[in-house]
Structure formats: C-alpha cells, structure tokens
A and B are shown apart, each in its own frame.
Chain A
Amino acid sequence: MSELSEQIKEIIENEPVSLFMKGTPQLVMCGNSDRALRALRAAGAPVTTVDVLPDPQIRQELTALSGWPTIPQIFIKGELVGGADIVEELYASGELQSKLDEALGSDREPAERTAVLA
C-alpha cells in the first residue's frame, strides 16, 4: 500500500467524521461537495475535510479504498456513509443525526478542521 493510501486510510479510520471534497470549507469548488458539507454542518457534525483537488492521485487512492467512484465521500468512524445525495437524504429523514449520536454521542461539538495530505 502506498504512503498516500495509508494516510487516507488513517484519516478515514481515525477521524470521527471525514469529508473528502473538492476544495475546502472556505472555498468549495463543487456543488455536491457544498451540499454534503451543508448537511453535515446542519447535523452538528465535527467534520475533518480533505481536499482531493491538489493531486489526482488522492482521488484514485480514495476510490480504490472505498469502492465509491464519485466525490464527495463521507465517512463516520471509518464507515462509508455515501456521497452528497445520501447525506442529504439521511439529514432530511433525521437518520444522519441519529447515526452521529450513535457513533459520537449526542453531546458532540460541531467543529471543522482541514487535513492536508503530504
């Protein structure tokens, strides 16, 4: 496994909620990444974002790991939750909030941090 792939895997497994997106929360470069980020924010999730745009290899390695072909990709404690459509749908039905409560506790603090892959 390449070093990049190891780094991605580490983020997926160790961050409470990870969002692989195009751009950053400050400068979102894609409508679907924006939809996913908004749903996660609205659900009060602590989000760690990773921008896939700086290096095409990031997206390739991520998809090899997850088997999910599109960006964004959202993981809660290592589990793939899906892309923008699924996260929006789960937020609308309240399931995203219960999933987060279950995985991280209901006293979780919303937060945002950006992880940069070297």
Chain B
Amino acid sequence: MAVTETLESLLRDSFPDASELAVEDRTGGGDHFQVTIASGRFEGLSLVEQHRLVYEALAAPLGDGSIHELRIKTRGQA
C-alpha cells in the first residue's frame, strides 16, 4: 500500500467522525504530506493538543522514517 493510503487509513481509524479528511502527497515523492482533518475530537483543544492527536495517530510512519515532512491543518467539526 502506498504511504498516502496508509496515512489516510491510520487517520480514519483515529478520527472516525471526520467530516473532512485528506492526505495530499505534496511533492509526488511519497514522503512530503499535507494532512487536513475536521473532527469533533479537536473541539475545545489548543492547536498543540490537536496536532498531538494527529502525531499520535501517525506515530508508526513518523517513527520509521516514511514521513519526511508533515504539514497539518486541523479544525473542529463544521
């Protein structure tokens, strides 16, 4: 499975309620990603706490080096 799909599936598991969830391979090289998520899990949390939840969901690919760069955009449920 390509990394983009792996990330998307990990994020879907962690944010099953997401009204928006997108993983974009920014460079086409399969290691620079933009992740955009809208989820109720983010409500009431600071941006640091919101991004921490995303890092937790992606701990495995972050740890094994398959993500070189990760950009994150989070917001509560619209």
Hey, which bits of chain A sit against chain B, CB under 8 A?
Answer: 31-32, 67-70, 80-86, 89-90
Residue with the highest number of chain B CB atoms closer than 10 Å, among A82, A89, A90: A82
- B residues less than 8 Å from A31 (CB atoms): 69
A115 to B73, CA, bound (A): 30
Given A68-B55, A69-B55, A85 and B72 touching (CB < 8 A)? yes
Closest to A82 in B: B48
Hey, which bits of chain B sit against chain A, CB under 8 A?
Answer: 47-48, 51-52, 55, 59, 62-63, 69-73
A80 to B48, CA, bound (A): 8
Contact status B48-A86, CB under 8 Å: yes
User: In the assembled complex, how far is the CB of residue B6 from the closest CB belonging to chain A, in whole angstroms?
Assistant: 17
Contact status B48-A89, CB under 8 Å: no
